[in-house]
């Protein structure tokens, strides 16, 4: 068996011929059954029950962490083709990234409990003890993958902010467009024309040929939606190739297109303000993202303002509390007041003094908060 891979190579190779998206769930269930037969993984339910009951030994906790690491590492290695290069550019390995994910998954709270594992248990359709073992493994795998995708999105945004923005713009476009559909298969997220045969029996569309055709039809300064309409007409035309293309390949082509047309750094290509969309996320996933964002903001307030003497401790706490209230309102779809109203809840101040001393600081922190939220919400690269 290949190191870091959860499935026998013969099984992986045999699945390369699978091209139909509707069969992906069957493959996932078969994967769960095969993986569940491997050593230690048949004890997953026992481990989780003991962990939730605070009756787990250090040795058993270590075994659960190792199992979780194998799942995360396998996902990163088998689904994300560019993960090695991405990690190398940041000076880390896929193993480091996996452990970063697990550091969040198994973080303890003030009561010495594991809040993310508690949230996972509450998200199950039936009590953990009564959940069938293969279904429990699939649910736990998806739970871990959520954290892995969040870490990967953050890493991707740090390493390639332009690609991250293009990626986000394409995903947002597909949510409201009737031209394209985003689906998932063995290649990860794929883009295909809506209401058309994906042609999965054919060969993959040669990327260099696809890029040449886009450059031939496109004009300088075309925004992403316009280039997507060009891509749509190309994929819908008469050709022998598959009509579905991995999203990561589309992003690479678009980056090259804008680099050639000289607009790669232009903010008019994409929406300037990140869009926050929580569609499809469970409550515990949203809470996890919010806590990570708030940790980043807390560090920013301390290092940028408190340690440099620009604000005192009370003011720093008020700034953090105001942004905490704001992120909670975002996640619960409540109407959000002005920045001044959020801030004045925790630090009594008149609007004139706020304008003079805190408005610029709070607007900067708001921008960082939205950008960090958008990076975490880009869960499927």
Asked whether residue 320 carries a pLDDT value surpassing 90, the answer given is yes
Mean pLDDT over the full length of the chain: 75
Please tell me the number of Cα atoms within 13 Å of 374 on its side-chain side. Answer: 23
Over residues 236-269, the pLDDT tens digits come to 888 888 888 888 888 888 887 776 655 544 334 4
Sign of the CA dihedral with 76 first, then 79, 81, and 86 last: negative
Q: Which pLDDT band holds residue 223 (cuts at 50, 70, 90)?
A: confident
Q: Which pLDDT band holds residue 318 (cuts at 50, 70, 90)?
A: very high
Over residues 111-142, the pLDDT tens digits come to 888 888 888 888 888 888 888 888 888 888 88
Find the range with the poorest average confidence among 34-43, 85-94, 164-173: 34-43
Query: Which residues are 216's β-sheet partners?
Result: none
Asked whether residue 322 carries a pLDDT value surpassing 80, the answer given is yes
Question: What's the Cα-to-Cα distance from 253 to each of 202, 220, 247, rounded to whole Å?
Answer: 21, 15, 10
User: 376: which residues sit within 8 A by CB, 6+ positions away?
Assistant: 150, 153, 154, 289, 292, 293
Q: Which pLDDT band holds residue 9 (cuts at 50, 70, 90)?
A: very low
89, containing H or E segment: helix 83-89
Q: Compare 342 and 275 and report the one with higher pLDDT.
A: 342
Find the range with the poorest average confidence among 63-67, 182-186, 189-193, 196-200: 196-200
What is the average pLDDT across 192-196?
A: 82
β-bridge pairing 180-185 and 188-193: antiparallel
- CA nearest 167: which of 278, 253, 86, 87? 253
Asked whether residue 317 carries a pLDDT value surpassing 90, the answer given is yes
- Please give the pLDDT value at position 246: 85
What is the average pLDDT across 280-300?
A: 79
């Amino acid at each position: 068996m290949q190191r870091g891979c959860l499935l026998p190579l013969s099984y992986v190779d045999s699945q390369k011929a699978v091209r139909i998206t509707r069969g992906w769930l069957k493959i996932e269930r078969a994967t769960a059954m095969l993986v569940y037969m491997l050593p230690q993984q048949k004890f997953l339910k026992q481990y989780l029950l003991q962990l939730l009951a605070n009756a787990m030994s250090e040795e058993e906790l270590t075994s659960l962490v190792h199992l979780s690491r194998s799942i995360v590492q396998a996902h990163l290695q088998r689904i994300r083709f560019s993960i090695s290069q991405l990690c190398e550019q940041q000076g880390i390995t896929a193993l480091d990234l996996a452990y970063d994910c697990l550091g969040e998954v198994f973080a303890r709270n003030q009561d010495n409990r594991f809040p993310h594992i508690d949230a996972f248990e509450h998200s199950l359709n039936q009590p953990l003890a009564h959940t069938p073992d293969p279904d429990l493994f699939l649910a736990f795998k998806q739970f871990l993958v959520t954290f892995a995708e969040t870490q990967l999105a953050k890493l991707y945004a740090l390493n390639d902010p332009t690609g991250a923005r293009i990626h986000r713009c394409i995903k947002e476009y597909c949510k409201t467009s009737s031209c394209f559909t985003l689906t998932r298969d063995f290649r990860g997220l794929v883009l295909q024309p809506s209401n058309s045969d994906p042609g999965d029996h054919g060969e993959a569309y040669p990327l260099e040929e696809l890029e040449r055709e886009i450059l031939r039809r496109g004009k300088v300064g075309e925004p992403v939606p316009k280039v997507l309409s060009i891509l749509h007409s190309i994929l819908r035309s008469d050709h022998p190739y598959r009509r579905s293309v991995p999203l990561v390949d589309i992003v690479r082509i678009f980056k090259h297109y804008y680099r050639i047309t000289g607009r790669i750094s232009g903010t008019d290509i994409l929406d300037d303000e990140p869009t926050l969309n929580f569609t499809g996320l469970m409550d515990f996933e949203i809470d996890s993202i919010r806590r990570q964002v708030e940790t980043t903001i807390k560090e920013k307030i301390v290092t940028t303002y408190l340690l440099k003497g620009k604000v005192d401790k009370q003011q720093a706490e008020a700034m953090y509390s105001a942004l905490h209230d704001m992120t909670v309102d975002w996640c619960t779809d409540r109407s959000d007041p002005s920045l001044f109203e959020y801030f004045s809840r925790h630090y009594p101040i008149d609007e004139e003094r706020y304008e003079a001393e805190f408005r610029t600081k709070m607007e900067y922190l708001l921008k960082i908060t939205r950008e960090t939220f958008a990076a975490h919400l880009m869960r499927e690269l």
